[in-house]
Amino acid sequence: MADFLEILTHGRRLKAQLKGLALDELQEVIGKMQAIAAEREEELAAENAANAERLAKIEEIRKKLAEEGIGLDELGAVVGGEAAPRKKRAPRPAKYEITVDGERLTWTGQGRTPKAIKERLDAGASLEDFLIK
């Protein structure tokens, strides 16, 4: 696609590529490209009109709010404005434990398996062997 776009946007390359086309074929290509360009212009005009309509509605609503004496900050507070701060959940209780070199390591069972437990599991131990009773 990049090569095609490079050819289309570079005058000499485009001329070299179109050199082998007959005049009627060249005019057909030009006609198709003009149709595509016209279609794009219509889409852009419709998009701009929709945008202008939307902006007009926003301005109308802003004026009504100003007439009623309502500020945008008040409106945000009523609607929910700022998001409520997220509550942190309590840490999960440890479910598994292992003692390594006199140090007790615990694991909730979520996330990455601790290295010491993983080594023992690989050696044939069962996860139930590490359950906290």
pLDDT in tens, 98-110: 998 989 999 999 9
Query: CB-based burial of residue 130 (10 Å sphere; 0-12 exposed, 13-18 middle, 19+ buried)?
Result: buried
Q: How far is CA 55 from CA 41, 47, 114, in A?
A: 21, 12, 57
**Beta pairing class for 103-107 and 96-100:** antiparallel
Q: Whole-model pTM above 0.75?
A: no
Angle at 114 between CA 109 and CA 119, to 5 degrees: 115
Compute the average pLDDT of residues 8-37.
Answer: 90
**Segment 35-49, tens digit of pLDDT:** 999 999 999 999 999
